[in-house]
Amino acid sequence: MRKDPTASDSMSDELAAENDLPESDTPAAEHTAVVADELTTESLDLGEREDIIERPSSQPTSRPLAEDLPVTIIRPTSGWRALDLREVWRYRELMLTLAWREITIRYKQTFLGAAWAIIQPLMTTGIFSVLFGLLLGKGNEPSAGDVPYAVSTFCAMLPWQLFATSLNQSGNILIQYRSMITKIYFPRLILPMAAVLSSLVDFGIAFVALLAMMAFYGIFPGWAVLTLPFFVILAIMASLSVGLWLAALNAIYRDFRYVIPFIIQVGMFVSPVVYSMESIQGRLSPWAWTLYSLNPMAGVIEGFRWALLGTSHGPGPMLVLSTVATAIILVGGMFYFRRMERLFADVI
């Protein structure tokens, strides 16, 4: 068969023209760049950020090659590791954004909105006022000193609501942000911290209502109110300490989803919320009182009453025991959370 010399020359010219093209403009180079981009994206989802390798560009091109982009290699950690609180501080803007998102979600499509921050503790106070009034008689309620029972209980409700809301939010927040955890890297520690910060808004609203109630009953705080910021910080630490443990455990063992409400219900009755500490102190043996004082919220609640209502009995040794217990639980919770952090993306 005779070959067409014109067609053969044209094909040779096209092959020569393809061979003369720059490497970055060929389809194979583009395919290599796409695969490299995909591998780079997958490597970002593996776990902890470890190091960043910047590759210098060999020659200026109109479109950056995959070799020119910085590559972040993320590997899961093993063993116990440092808390690295400086990294948490670098992500503080994300933490504040997540806290604000929690607040907006909490009251989205609600008719009363943030008023629920007052209604819930106020209704609980009213129910127990009626209950103890019927059981013990009017004026014999387990109040703190000469303070009316409603004021004494509502004052204790503020730190307790902060603790309970923080526990409920932080215990489920890892599951709530499941898709975010499995796709991008950020210190997971900021999630329970954001949950606790969002609970402070409810605390602030309820605190204004407490001041109004105190003014109605003619109760005005003394110099001890200057110590109130210390008790607020201690309440935040207590909330975060237990919240870290529950967040990590609930991410791995979903049984804790049902344990958290039970802990909150039982915790309110083993803390001096609906009764004062002085009303039961004489009935407790020394070892029972010591065990009771190890409750992280016991010293906080009694401290709130002492700082705002001026009760004669300050927290004293109970506050010391509660602070020590809170510090131990907080440090242990932070290390345990960091230890389990490498498993969250796989098991959540």
105-145: pLDDT as tens digits: 888 878 887 888 899 899 999 999 999 988 888 888 888 88
Mean pLDDT of the chain: 80
Give the C-alpha separation, 348 to 336, whole Å: 16
Q: How does pLDDT run across 290-325, given as a tens digit for each residue?
A: 899 899 999 899 999 999 988 766 667 888 999 999
Q: How does pLDDT run across 255-278, given as a tens digit for each residue?
A: 888 889 999 999 999 999 999 888
62 or 253, higher pLDDT: 253
Q: Which of 35-44, 67-76, 92-101 has the lowest mean pLDDT?
A: 35-44
Q: With CA atoms as reference, report the closest residue to 199 among 89, 114, 270.
A: 114
The pLDDT > 90 percentage for the chain reads: 35
Q: With CA atoms as reference, report the closest residue to 148 among 133, 162, 160.
A: 133
Give the C-alpha separation, 224 to 309, whole Å: 9
The pLDDT > 70 percentage for the chain reads: 76
348 or 338, higher pLDDT: 338
* pLDDT for residue 100 is more than 50: yes
Confidence of residue 75 (pLDDT cuts 50, 70, 90): low
In the block, which residue shows the tokens 């009034």? Answer: 133
The Cα angle at residue 184 between residues 179 and 190, in degrees rounded to 5? 85
Confidence of residue 63 (pLDDT cuts 50, 70, 90): low
Can you spell out the DSSP letters for 261-310?
A: HHHHHHHHHTTTSSS-GGGTGGGS-HHHHHHHHTSHHHHHHHHHHHHHH-
Count CA within 13 A, CB hemisphere, residue 311. Answer: 27
Tell me the mean pLDDT in the region 239-259: 90
Phi and psi based region of residue 79 (left: phi greater than 0; alpha: psi -120 to 50; beta: remaining): left
Contacts for 308 with CB less than 8 Å, ≥ 6 apart: 155, 210, 214, 221, 224, 225, 228
Give the C-alpha separation, 140 to 58, whole Å: 85
**Both structure tokens of 84:** 């690295």
Give the C-alpha separation, 85 to 64, whole Å: 35
The pLDDT, as a whole number, for residue 318 is 86
Q: Which of 48-52, 152-156, 241-245 has the lowest mean pLDDT?
A: 48-52
Give the C-alpha separation, 108 to 66, whole Å: 44
Q: How does pLDDT run across 14-60, given as a tens digit for each residue?
A: 444 444 444 444 444 444 444 444 444 444 444 444 444 444 445 55
Tell me the mean pLDDT in the region 68-89: 72
* pLDDT for residue 74 is more than 70: no
